[in-house]
Amino acid sequence: MTEKEKQQSGQLYNGSDRELVAERVAAKKLCAEYNAITYNDYQKKERILDRLLALRGENTWIEANFFCDYGYNIIIGDNFYANHNCVILDCAEVVFGDNVFIGPNCGFYTAGHPLDAQTRNQGLEYAKPIKIGSDVWIGGNVCVMPGVTIGDNVVIGGGSVVVDDIPAGVLAVGNPCRPVRKIDEK
């Protein structure tokens, strides 16, 4: 089994593997190119996103600076907006539903490292997928950690660290992020 196959199946893998390094370099070059584009050169931005991301829906806008590890593990629905300094460490799949709005300085981290120092010091890591539902607003400076699922119609308050799944239809805040109340239709 290759290191990439291990990565994609959620097993421990060596992130320094030649194939994975080459794929990260290619994605980071595209991110650098994207971030250097004149703000209103919409067509060029869209062409780079089409080359970088696995799939994206209608009306995708990602402010510079944007960074990801691979790009091919990122799936974005319709009406997606990410503010400045969005980081998606997509060692595993990261899926965003429709109508997702992300504040500035947010990170989505599928990558994790073993707690055991001896294993960690061998350069081994793991990746767990992240899933964000539809009609979700994520406030500024939020970190979403490996393996988290956020349901539909959720608001994550600014500065939160999301380490556990968040059910649909709630406002959730804090570190660790927890639901504080249901969201009314009003």
Active site residues: 113
SS3 42: helix
Residues 157 and 173: their CA atoms lie apart, in Å, by 5
Residue type, 120: R
Strands 130-132 and 107-109: unpaired
Residues 160 and 74: their CA atoms lie apart, in Å, by 22
Residues 6+ apart with CB under 8 A from 177: 142, 156, 157, 160, 161, 162, 163, 164, 166
From residue 19, alpha-carbon distances to 15, 31, 126, 145 in Å are: 9, 19, 16, 25
